[in-house]
Amino acid sequence: MIKKILIVDDSIVARMGLKKAIPKDMPYEFYEASDGASGVEQFKTVAPDVVFLDLTMPVMTGFQALDEIMKIDKNAAVIVVTADIQKKTMDRVLEAGALLVISKPPSQEEIRSSLEKAGKFKEGVMKR
- Considering Cα of 9, then 107, then 89, then 3, what sign does the dihedral take? positive
Closer of 105 and 113 to another protein (Cβ)? 105
Burial 58-94 (b: 16+ CB within 10 A, else e): eebbbbbbbbbbeeeeeebbbbbbbebeeeebbebbe
Least distance between another protein and beta carbon 102 (Å): 12
86 binds, among Mg ion, another protein, none (CB under 5 to 8 A by kind): another protein
Residues 6 or more apart from 24 whose CB is under 8 A from it? none
Question: Site for another protein (CB under 8 A): which residue of 44, 108, 123, 128?
Answer: 108
Cα–Cα distance, 113 to 74 (Å, whole number)? 22
Closer of 66 and 76 to another protein (Cβ)? 66
Least distance between another protein and beta carbon 74 (Å): 26
Site string for another protein, 19-58 (x = CB under 8 A): -xx---------------------------------xxxx
Question: Site for another protein (CB under 8 A): which residue of 82, 98, 99, 121?
Answer: 82
Could you tell me how many residues make up the chain? 128
Q: In terms of C-beta distances under 8 Å and separation of at least 24 residues, what long-range contacts does 86-90 make, across chains too? A: 89/55
Question: Site for another protein (CB under 8 A): which residue of 53, 106, 114, 122?
Answer: 106
- Which positions touch another protein (CB under 8 A)? 10-14, 16-17, 20-21, 55-58, 82-88, 103-108
